[in-house]
Structure 1
Amino acid sequence: MNIFTYHLVEISFSYAVKSLFVNPLDKETPGLVHAEYMTAMKLGAPIFSPSRFLTRQMAVFAQWENEKALDDYLQKEKFGAQLNNGWHVRLAFMRQWGKTSKFKIQEHKATLELASSPVVAVTIARMKPWAIPRFLRWGRPVEKLVRDHNGTLLSMASFKFPNTISTFSIWKTEKEMTNMVHGHSKMAQPKRHANAMKERERKSFHFDFVTLRFKPISEFGSWQEKDTYIPYFELHTT
C-alpha cells in the first residue's frame, strides 16, 4: 500500500547550500513515487527576517510505493541515514483538494478510528511569480492563525526556490482543523483562513495547488529535542 512521509531534519550549512541546486533524494530511488525537498520556514515570521528561512532545517514530503521501500532507503542510502537522524511521520491518504501532477493519489482512502484521532494536513503550491506579494498579504495572517491555534500539535512551512511553498500541520482532531478552515474556531480573527480562500477563488495565487489530508500511522525519531508530537499513539498503542 502506498504511504506518504513527512520528514524534518537538521543538516550542515554547506549541505543546505548544495541542496538548493541538487535534490539529494534521487527521483530514480526504488519505490519512490515523488518527493519534495524544501527549506523550513517559521510560520508568521516577517518576510525579510533571519528567522523566516531556517536554512539548516529541511523538510521532505514524499510518497512511497510501500513501507519496505521507505525502510530500505532509510537504512541503505546516504541521505536516508541523514533523514533517520531527524524525525518523520508516516501517513495514510484521506482526502484531496485541488490537483497535482507529481503525486499519485490513490482511490483507497483511510478513515479515522475515533473522533479524537489526530489528522495531518499538507499543502503544496506552485506560485505565480506576479501573485507572490498578494499571496503574502493574505497568507501571513493565516500562518499566524495556524501557528498559534490551540488545536495544532506541530505546524511548519517550507519553501523551494523559485516558487514552491508548502505548509504542514498536525491537528489534535479533524474537527478542530475543519473549524479553523471554515472560520469557526475560538481564536482571535477566526475567519483569516476562510477569507484567504475566498480571495484565492476570486483570483488564484497559484498555477498548481493541492491540499492533502492524512491519517498519521506512526512517528519516528525526534525533532527539536522532542520525540512525541502525536500523543494519541502512546494512548492507543498496546
Structure 2
Amino acid sequence: MRLHSFHLARVPLHTAVRALLRPPAAPGLRRMEVLAGMELGAPVLSPKRMRIRHLAVFAEWDDEAALDAFLAERPLGRRLAAGWHVRLEFRRRWGAVRELAHLPEEAGRTDPAEPVVAVTLARMRLPELARFIRWGRPVERQVRDHPETTLALAAMRPLRTVSTFSVWTSARAMTGMVFGRDGGGAGRRHRDAMAERDRRDFHREFTTLRFRPLSEHGSWEGRSDHIPFR
C-alpha cells in the first residue's frame, strides 16, 4: 500500500545542508521534500524563523517496507530514525504541486471526529513574498495557538518552497478553522488570507493535503504522543 510519512529530526549542519541541496534516492522512495524547520509565528528576523539543523521531511513510499529499509540502512534515514515521524494514509488533496498532482482529489472519506494531519506545500512567487509574510504570519499564530492542534510547524527550502504541518484532534476542528467558524477575530484570519490569495496569488503552485495518521514513532520536543489516537 502506498504510504506517506512526515519526519522531524535534529541533525548535524553538514547533514542538513547536503539533504537540502540534494534529497536522497532510495528503492521504493517515490519523492521526498527536505526542508528546514521554522517556528510558526516567529518574527521574520529571528533564528527561530529558519532552523537549518531541524529537518522536516515529507515523503511518499511504495510501502512500509521501503520506509523501514530507508530508516535502517541509509545515512539520512538513520538520522531521521533518531527523531520523530508519523506514518500517514492519504485522504484528500486541494490545489496542485506538480510532484504531487498524481494524488486524487479524494481517496477516502474522513470521520469528522477522528484526528487528522494536514500538510501544505507551496512554490512561492518571490515578488509576492512580503505580502505572503504579512498575511501568513497571523494565520501561523492562529494554527499554532489553536486549542485543537497538538503539533504545528512550518518549514522552508530556500528560496521558493514553503510548507506547513499540523496535527488536529479532529477533522471537524480543522475545517472549523479553515472556514472561519472559530469565534472572535482570530477565526477570520485564515478565511481573510485565503480571500487575499484569491485576489492575487502568492504562489506559483500550492496544495493542501489531508491524511489519516496510522502510527507515531520516536519523540519530538520531549513528547511521543503528538497524535491523539482514540
Q: Under a length normalisation based on structure 1, what TM-score does the superposition of the two structures give?
A: 0.91
SS at match of 1:204: coil
Q: Quick check: 2:169–2:228 contact (8 Å CA) kept in 1?
A: no
Match of 1:91 among 49, 63, 88: 88
After TM superposition, which residue ranges in structure 1, 4 or more long, deviate above 6 angstroms?
none
Report the Cα distance in structure 1 between the residues aligned to 2:209 and 2:191, rounded to whole angstroms. Answer: 17
Across the two proteins, how many residue pairs are aligned to each other?
229
Give the match for residue 138 of structure 1. 135
Report the Cα distance in structure 2 between the residues aligned to 1:165 and 1:70, rounded to whole angstroms. Answer: 24
Letter in 2 for 1:55: I
SS at match of 2:48: coil
Q: Quick check: 2:115–2:171 contact (8 Å CA) kept in 1?
A: yes
Matches within 5 A, 1:155-170: 155-170=152-167
Report the Cα distance in structure 2 between the residues aligned to 1:108 and 1:143, rounded to whole angstroms. Answer: 26
Match of 1:59 among 56, 60, 65: 56
Give the match for residue 13 of structure 2. 13
Q: Quick check: 2:117–2:213 contact (8 Å CA) kept in 1?
A: yes
Report the Cα distance in structure 2 between the residues aligned to 1:119 and 1:21, rounded to whole angstroms. Answer: 30
Give the match for residue 117 of structure 1. 114
Report the Cα distance in structure 2 between the residues aligned to 1:213 and 1:17, rounded to whole angstroms. Answer: 29
Call closer, same or farther: CA 1:74–1:110 in 2, change over 3 Å: farther
Report the Cα distance in structure 2 between the residues aligned to 1:216 and 1:124, rounded to whole angstroms. Answer: 18
Give the match for residue 169 of structure 2. 172
Give the match for residue 201 of structure 2. 204
Aligned-pair distance for 1:106? 4.6
Match of 2:226 among 222, 226, 229: 229
Report the Cα distance in structure 2 between the residues aligned to 1:106 and 1:203, rounded to whole angstroms. Answer: 26
Aligned-pair distance for 1:122? 0.3
Give the match for residue 105 of structure 1. 103
Letter in 2 for 1:9: A
Aligned-pair distance for 1:80? 1.0
With 140-149 and 49-58 compared, the bigger mean Cα shift is at 49-58
Q: Quick check: 1:110–1:215 contact (8 Å CA) kept in 2?
A: no
Call closer, same or farther: CA 1:191–1:156 in 2, change over 3 Å: same
Match of 1:151 among 133, 148, 161: 148
Match of 1:33 among 30, 33, 37: 30
Q: Quick check: 2:92–2:106 contact (8 Å CA) kept in 1?
A: no
Q: Quick check: 2:84–2:220 contact (8 Å CA) kept in 1?
A: yes
Report the Cα distance in structure 2 between the residues aligned to 1:129 and 1:60, rounded to whole angstroms. Answer: 23
Call closer, same or farther: CA 1:148–1:188 in 2, change over 3 Å: farther
Deviations 1:124-176 (A, max 9, x none): 00000101001111000000000000010100100001110000000000011
Deviations 1:49-107 (A, max 9, x none): 11211221100000111111111111121211111101000111111110121123157
Q: Quick check: 2:115–2:228 contact (8 Å CA) kept in 1?
A: no
Q: Quick check: 1:92–1:110 contact (8 Å CA) kept in 2?
A: no
Report the Cα distance in structure 2 between the residues aligned to 1:20 and 1:95, rounded to whole angstroms. Answer: 27
Aligned-pair distance for 1:123? 0.3
SS at match of 2:21: coil
Match of 1:82 among 79, 84, 96: 79
Report the Cα distance in structure 1 between the residues aligned to 2:83 and 2:184, rounded to whole angstroms. Answer: 32
Give the match for residue 3 of structure 2. 3
Deviations 1:22-58 (A, max 9, x none): 33x22xx111111100000000000011121122110
> Alignment identity in percent?
44
